Structure 1
């Protein structure tokens, strides 16, 4: 007898066909996507072939942004194996978000604000200023547009803008008191004109639309005028007035028929003695008691005194004859 063996070798590899490549957008608000697909199953000429995920994440997994390769392998009973691959790409299609501050209106050119910072569904977003001057800068009069842009790690961008408007301060002026020196016993005087109109006055001695020297007291005082415009921008100006004690310089009426004009005056004051034929003496004294002009034995009906070079303020003119006198308060403008 004799024997021999017949060996049949399974030399036929199994077959497997993968899916086409998959591309999807990220899940809303997420930096990934949950993807389910029909996993490929291999076939073979013989029973007993098995298919397994060789590399990748598998159907139903959470795939990150980017491309992941899925590889499946089928192995038959004779250990023949065949594999196939496909890619799963998750695209970050979600733009980043950014919110700018509201428009800013200011009277101060130095403006501070909280610079906006963008956010994204994925880490790594950066925010930059693409136009404007930035937080804490000194802005010019007018309107400047500030623009910020956020860029995510996938190159998606979003921008926002707001304006910074700097309003010019109003031009405020306050006229000077004329005269700017008065007696503590003088009546109230009207406050000088402030522009623009409808501003407010403040300061020692200010009462309503007047300055009261008795209320202010002896000394140097400042009156302030403040104006606020429709943009709520404010400016102010000030002027000075001096209140002095005039005790001993009170005017009297012992002499009649005598007049001094003009009063207040800029250049000349005229003393009109009327119809009298008496001889008169004239003494002009500053508020601090210094004699600045003197004339004696005058019989002129009208005497002119040049005060053009005198400082602005209050002077006292004493007119005397052999038996009486009269004191005039003269204001040099």
Structure 2
């Protein structure tokens, strides 16, 4: 396999890249730093050409980039492509730009290629960038600048240059896939096919390097799937696609039935009414909140990521104004769930959490007052370097203490409850009559349903009114049209008033006189539903009856 082949850019979805034996050889070549580099002992520059993605080259001085040079010991090589591998953690540290230069005296360098490196969250991810170059050089300089997030640190796992290779296998990924969730679940089983062929090796079996295999349950959201295949000449080809699972399932409202209750005492104008909503969802119930991105709901606590940045002290004040606290993380499972939710929402940089020692130095407590003792400090933290009284959670899930001198997005925690748009809350004093309560229940995907029910409070009648009410009967009930009145004693009525549930008067009959059995009122033209019949006798006793119109 001695044919020549130029490399192509990997990152675009579905595009194939190829690479083989590189120019840099860690066993004989030495990488030296370029520019202002400050690396810890175990993460020095030689790691960048050792072709071991478990090591990395880290530079605390990201302001001028992270660069290195390699003298290939007098051997002239014509580089036409660069492989770049992301490091093990902290995607915000990945550089965003590169420049490759060559030299034949180790002093004067000529720029060969420049370009951008798209940011990805996948770790240990290899991409290859091709460029046009026909000149051979004995030394190469590579400099990387920019960061993918708010970070003063750059890091790279590996970099390699290539000049010529044999035929690489052809790998074919499907187009991006979009499916709806499986009913009642927050995922969907997705099947896909990836094929690979090689000129000499024939059919090859691709490998999943990131993402999930065909036939797996893919979670709601976007999952990137990266595939590669390697032939017997160690040429590798890669492709990628996305699987998007859409949550198109509405929440279940869990709305209570209409409630009817009598005031506790004669003369009371209100009654305390309690009720319970029991909404459920196949994924996550959480209300929309202006200027915040919904993240997740854990045990009745709704978590949001602020869209704006705040100093830690101001974030603590803002959280109180939102009716909550800067977020509490109570255990390792919650820490993982929140870290993943922040990453899904695009919050790659450090996010402020509610853990601080502003009251007693060295004693960190939660703003919420929660007694949780869980923490997830990075090694060597908290170190209080420069009076660091607040805490951020990083993309790795680790925690670091920080000062009040910078601004961050913050994790907001509030108690979850469906949004009430009309009526009164449970436990409130409901007035005599009918109150309609309306709620909106929304899930993380933005699907929403309405819940509506009536609370009807009847007055507590006096002894005379009770006696009056008990002596009058309305039949049939339910009725299709005619209401017949019967009584157990001679009753003279002043009026009969029929009202709907909102108290609106629909029909009135006055000066009835002595009520005889068989007296009727026709409501056949009324819509189906419940109505109130208010009867008043000549002694001003009042009785209210309910009637159902079919």
TM normalised by structure 1 equals 0.48
If each structure's helix is expressed as a fraction of its own residues, which one has the higher value? Answer: 2
User: Which protein is bigger by CA-based radius of gyration?
Assistant: 1
